[in-house]
Structure 1
Amino acid sequence: MPWTLRRAVDADAERIGEITVAGWRHAYRGIVADDRLDALDPAEVAERRREVIAAREPMAVFVAVDEQGRVRGYCTVGPSTDPDLAGDTTGVSGVLYTLYLDPEVIGTGAGGLLHDAGVAHLAAAGFARATLWVYTANTSAQAFYAHRGWYADGEPYLGPGWSAPATRWAKEL
């Protein structure tokens, strides 16, 4: 399936909220408590994503658009807001904050394209290193990132308000 990648705009926020909720429910069932997954509200997620879409560089949100013009996935990247959590020792890392797809387009190449756009943006912004967090039990996401040169960079960690333990992954840019 051919994909078009572009920067997200405010009008994409509702769709991004829907994708986030569908992605969480697909990927995290059995990892995150069912009541938390069932309580997710796409409108609330959309409001939080609007803030990120409007944020200044080097924050960026990229969307994958299908042939019919429908947003089917997105990723969010930017600078680390918590250098200690990112494991920063010599400079601020870039972060791949989110990468979610409509479950029905997993495996079509959209995720890889979004990943590559986000990583390229971080490198162009001058970051030498990037990090991300993956739920420790999410082996499919770990395989996706390992295939793209990421490596586990720490022990499982359960942060305040987190749904399950996650492991930090890193990549040199």
Structure 2
Amino acid sequence: MVTIRRARPGDAPALGEVHVACWRSAYAGVLPDSYLNSLSATAETRGYERAIAERRGGHAAFVAVADNLEMPGGGVVGFITGGLSRRPSIAEGEVETLYLMDDFHERGIGRRLMRAMASHLASLGAQSAFVWVLEPNPSRWFYERLGAKLVAREDMVFAHQRTTQLAYAWDPIHTLLTATATTKLPR
């Protein structure tokens, strides 16, 4: 069983590990191996420690925690972070990160994490939300399936190569809340 809860300061090392593992998986063959190999869970951990503690701009992090039947020893298998938008011209709320370990895809966990963040953003008064995703990311379809619309694209240099990032938005945020609502599965 996987539960979703608000991240605690002690979760930061697990967030760093999941972050690095997900980047190495999602961007293998897309971004240079030298860049992916240079990613540091320790460095990512420091950033997540600050983010969890400070909560600036309504920032929040939610984790997906597997019990020991799903993952030996239990632990964080995914997480989401976000808060009030750093680009209010696009939307009022922003999903900054969403990472889920490969073995836990296609189980509705990402949808549940998105639901937690959408509810949080709505509680802050955000009427809309968005997420940036690198164009080569094979998971961007996930946001489209949740009703997001492509609203912006920016060319950029990342990891010493040119790429494009895409902004997907839910406007109004109710679109995301509806798309992530829990439904009963047939027996």
Equivalent residue, structure 1, for 2:78: 73
Q: Map residues 3-18 of structure 1 onto 2, 5 A cutoff.
A: 3-18=2-17
**What is the distance in 1 between the residues matched to 2:160 and 2:60?**
23
Q: How far 1:160 sits from its partner (Å)?
A: 7.2
Deviation at 1:144, TM superposition (A): 0.4
Shift of 1:159: 6.1
Larger radius of gyration: 2
Q: CA deviation at 1:48?
A: 0.4
SS at match of 1:62: strand
Question: Root-mean-square deviation (CA), in Å?
Answer: 1.9
- Asked whether the equivalents of residues 136 and 156 of structure 1 are also in contact (C-alpha less than 8 Å), the reply is no
Whole-angstrom distance in 2 between the partners of 1:32 and 1:79: 29
TM-score w.r.t. length of structure 1? 0.87
- Aligned residue for 1:149, secondary structure, equals coil
The match for 1:100 is 99
Show the counterpart of 2:182. none
SS in 1 for 2:167: strand
Shift of 1:157: 2.6
- For residues 1-173 of structure 1, the aligned pairs below 5 Å read 2-56=1-55, 58-68=58-68, 69-83=74-88, 87-88=89-90, 93-138=92-137, 140-158=138-156, 164-172=163-171, 173=173
Deviation of 1:76 after TM superposition, in Å, equals 0.0
Gapped regions of structure 1 (runs ≥ 5): none
CA contact (8 A) 2:153 2:164 kept: no
Q: Which has the higher strand share?
A: 2
Distance 1:58 1:159, change over 3 A: farther
Cα distance in 2 between the residues matched to 1:67 and 1:103: 17
Name structure 2 gaps, 5 residues minimum.
Answer: 69-73, 174-187
Mapped to 2, the partners of 1:123 and 1:168 lie a distance apart of: 19
Q: Secondary structure at the match of 2:79?
A: strand
Count, aligned residues: 165
CA distance in 2, matches of 1:114, 1:155: 24
Distance 1:160 1:36, change over 3 A: closer
Contact 2:35 2:159 (8 Å CA) reproduced: no
How far the C-alpha of 1:70 sits from its partner, in A, is 1.0
- CA spacing shift, 1:41–1:160, aligned 2, 3 Å: closer
Distance in 1, matches of 2:22 and 2:168, equals 20
CA distance in 1, matches of 2:92, 2:160: 21
Deviation at 1:108, TM superposition (A): 2.1
Q: TM-score, normalised by structure 2?
A: 0.81
Q: SS at 1:32's partner residue?
A: coil
Structure 2: distance between partners of 1:44 and 1:113: 27
